[in-house]
Structure 1
């Protein structure tokens, strides 16, 4: 009897068994997450989401950007976007982190864009959560079309004034933020940064259509043009506080996303 077919069958069965064992191990691989908050907030905003990720066995860093959150004592009208990019870059370098899953929310998209440009070799995946997705040389004001002079009532003494910054509130609370964070352009031109796998997540409230949002959201459009993975998640702009477990699972699942080939210009 020819043993060859039996050896082939045994080899195939062995390969199938290896695949069955490897897939769950890959899915269960532990990650290092750096979660970057949005404007006026702080690392406290990611406490519950971060705890869920930690409970799942991951390593989590929740940096608070200079002048905000518990670092309010450093607040100044001289703080700019570059300061906040330096905050995250230095965290990653001084903690000697590698294969980082970098996540930015809202204004945090500007920050992580700058981090991508500076140290792409330290990053494994990037997730933009309802976040700004700027082009190279854009500020967040440029991205959202703020071409007219700023309203003097909203921007006073070098700071952006917003209704959710409430004097006398009990910590944790939102903190006023320097205008320079919003009018300073970001660099996004490093070829290694452009090649990173990225996921863009739109938080979509119940009363909003994802299809309509895609037609009007410049960040969504920029992400799609780059071939990034597009995901949606039900909830408001701070869905990470509304459903921290769901957002934690979403971030972890996004690590497996891979960029598509962008469509040629004009298509």
Structure 2
């Protein structure tokens, strides 16, 4: 039995993991979906990146987990990767699901053309609004799944996207699985490709888009379960 703490990306809360969590529990694991501050049922609270890092660390401590797999999807890879190094020997593995990996001194918005995101945050009182349905096209999602993401998603705290990460060691040193969703591009970023050359890192592929907790929850649950073996 493995304990998984599951953290979804921008606009999403713990609810995004319902089907994946059910799959993990059916396999005999424990699943602990986590909503980050400022999102879903916690919306309305201000949050920077370090708030979200602390959210993850606090959840592990609250649950008393000693051999935990941290799972970060998309944006959530940035706080999850920082939380992972703070857990010490309580960490079994990090799993990045088509996620950004933290780099010391860099923010989620660093390294890609993100001026439009910064403008949107400035125009929406410090929040990154949930995109419309058209932004989720071509990612292996049904119309019903897209409608749920759009209706249940909540604006994302902008400060968490612009605040730089703080790391004391390279993510290459931690036991890690990177799940690449192939419809979102067949190869990971150059940074992730370099990290995958390190001995503690493994790669797993999913033939779906960027939101596999909706499009392929059973397959994602299987990969997560196998990552802990």
TM-score by length of 1: 0.72
1:108 is aligned to 76
**Pairwise CA distance, 1:170:** 7.8
1:249 aligns with 2:216: no
**Of the two, which has the highest radius of gyration?**
1
2:8 is aligned to 37
Instruction: Supply the distance in 2 between the matched residues of 1:67 and 1:154 (Cα, whole angstroms).
Output: 14
Task: Specify whether residues 80 and 218 from structure 1 end up closer, same or farther in structure 2 by C-alpha distance, changes over 3 A only.
Answer: farther
Aligned-pair Cα RMSD in Å: 2.4
Output aligned runs, 1:159-178, within 5 Å: 159-164=127-132, 173-178=152-157
Among candidates 112, 119, 138, match of residue 152 of structure 1:
119
Q: Answer 1 or 2: higher relative contact order, Cα 8 Å, separation at least 6.
A: 2
TM-score by length of 2: 0.83
Q: Is the 8 A contact 2:79 2:102 kept in 1?
A: no
Q: Is the 8 A contact 2:120 2:128 kept in 1?
A: no
Task: Specify whether residues 55 and 137 from structure 1 end up closer, same or farther in structure 2 by C-alpha distance, changes over 3 A only.
Answer: same
Instruction: Supply the distance in 2 between the matched residues of 1:105 and 1:124 (Cα, whole angstroms).
Output: 18
What stretches of structure 1 of length at least 5 have no aligned partner? 1-29, 257-267
What stretches of structure 2 of length at least 5 have no aligned partner? 134-146
4+ residue runs over 3 A deviation: 148-151, 169-172
Task: Specify whether residues 100 and 150 from structure 1 end up closer, same or farther in structure 2 by C-alpha distance, changes over 3 A only.
Answer: closer
| Aligned residue pairs, count | 213
Output aligned runs, 1:104-143, within 5 Å: 104-143=72-111
Among candidates 57, 65, 70, match of residue 89 of structure 1:
57
**Pairwise CA distance, 1:240:** 1.5
